[in-house]
Structure 1
Amino acid sequence: MPKLIKNGSVIDDAAQILVLDETQAPEALSLPEGQVFVPLAVWQAHKGVLSDNKAVGVWLESHESVDDLAEDLDSLSAVALNFPKFTDGRAYSGAALLRTRYGFKGEIRAIGDVLRDQFFFMQRCGFDVIQPKTGKYSDAQLEEALASLKDFSTPYQAAVDQPEPLFRRARRAA
């Protein structure tokens, strides 16, 4: 069972990330039981049926826009954004847009090639669940990564998790 970081803890996760291959049509797909994240194409093909199922989330590739989910966010409890490689940062913008422009209060999950060095910045952009590839980190390494999220006590810049920059938050004596 994959491990992930959620709400300040390392936990087991039973959610499946459904990936289509070239031979599968989104319209003809049947879903497995339990919590599952479906690709955007599957969501768009089946959203009339899936929109009432809170065990279904949608995941987006880095080239897909969160704008395509804007009308459906009220019926989703979770959105996963894929990092196909660690140098592709488009998912940071997607998470920030979900939280700020669209006011999404559900779970935003970082999936794919996520690296420990990026976890802090992912949280700042609005991710609340970080799911590295299965086997990338040991349990001990995930616990160390969790502790490293507190390396910076007070970020200077404004972000999704702290909209005011430090100079606006700090009180100085006259």
Structure 2
Amino acid sequence: MPLIEKGEIVADAYVRVADDEALPEGAPVLIGIDRLLSEAEALKGRQAPVGIIWPNNRPIAEIEPYLPQLALIALNFPSFRDGRAYSQARLLRERLGWTGPLRAIGNVLRDQFLLMERSGFDQIEAVKPADAEAFDEATHRYTVFYQPATDARPSLLRQRLGRTIAGIRS
């Protein structure tokens, strides 16, 4: 599956490794939660980056002790109707202070690209290559937002308050 990062299709540097497979030497790996929990100490000494596929049915707060040793977090969308990964992404960014790459995997649809970006995802594992074009269009379709989010775009209220405060000070 193509990987979209900042609107472009990029090569995925991470190798997905099943719990029972050996970790390749020197290559960035993407592992499951069971492997992380059982091999956490051994993974700390690994010379290559380690990423985790975090299931959407586990509390995201459980990942906090492992954040310093992770280079990537992938959150799963098992169904397009299941939005728990959005909440996990915001909690990671806003409460847990995660600043590293955050990847959306699973059943990812074009209609959700803007919300994914606003929730804190900076990588999306898309279904097909044409989705990169759809990503650019979807993320630039709207310029005004009512709700605050984790991205840098201010909400309409913040924009208005900024103008009002700037107007009072001048």
Q: TM-score of the superposition, structure 1-length normalised?
A: 0.82
Please list every run of 5 or more consecutive structure 2 residues that lacks an aligned counterpart in the other structure: none
Alignment deviations for residues 95-143 of structure 1 (CA, whole Å, 9 cap, x no partner): 10110001011111000001010011011111110112xxx32x23422
Q: Which runs of 5 or more structure 1 residues have no equivalent in the other structure?
A: none
CA contact (8 A) 2:3 2:9 kept: yes
Q: 1:52 to 1:165 in 2, by over 3 A?
A: farther
Distance apart, 1:67 and its partner CA: 1.2
- Aligned equivalent of 1:7: 6
SS for the counterpart of 1:81 is strand
Q: What's the secondary structure of 2:148's corresponding residue?
A: coil
Give the letter aligned to residue 10 of structure 2.
Answer: I
Task: Name the structure 2 match of 1:165.
Answer: 155
Distance 2:82 2:22 in 1: 31
CA distance in structure 2 between the partners assigned to 1:83 and 1:19 by the alignment: 19
- How far the C-alpha of 1:164 sits from its partner, in A, is 5.0
Query: How far does residue 162 in structure 1 lie from its aligned partner after superposition?
Result: 4.3
Structure 2 counterpart of 1:4, which letter? L
8 Å Cα contact 2:144/2:155 also seen in 1: no
Instruction: Indicate the residue corresponding to 1:62 in structure 2.
Output: 56
The separation in 2 between residues aligned to 1:150 and 1:52, in whole angstroms, is: 42
Q: Which amino acid in the other structure matches residue 111 of structure 1?
A: I
Question: Which residue of the partner structure matches residue 30 of structure 1?
Answer: 22
Q: Which aligned segments of 4 or more residues in structure 1 are displaced greater than 4 angstroms?
A: none
Name the residue aligned to 1:41: 34
Q: Which residue in the other structure is 2:103 paired with? A: 109
- The offset of 1:144, in angstroms, is 2.7
Higher alpha-carbon deviation: 161-170 or 142-151:
161-170
Calculate percent identity across the aligned residue pairs: 36
Q: 1:84 to 1:19 in 2, by over 3 A?
A: farther
Q: Distance in 2 between matches of 1:120 and 1:91?
A: 14
Deviations 1:61-96 (A, max 9, x none): 110222111011112111100111111110001110
Structure 1 position 49, deviation (Å): 1.4
Task: Report the count of equivalent residues.
Answer: 162
Q: Please, what TM-score do these two structures have when normalized by structure 2?
A: 0.84
SS class of match (1:38): strand
Q: What is the alpha-carbon distance in structure 2 between the residues aligned to residue 6 and residue 161 of structure 1?
A: 15
- Tell whether 2:99 aligns with 1:100: no
Corresponding letter in the other structure for 1:32? P
User: Normalized per residue, which structure has more helix?
Assistant: 2
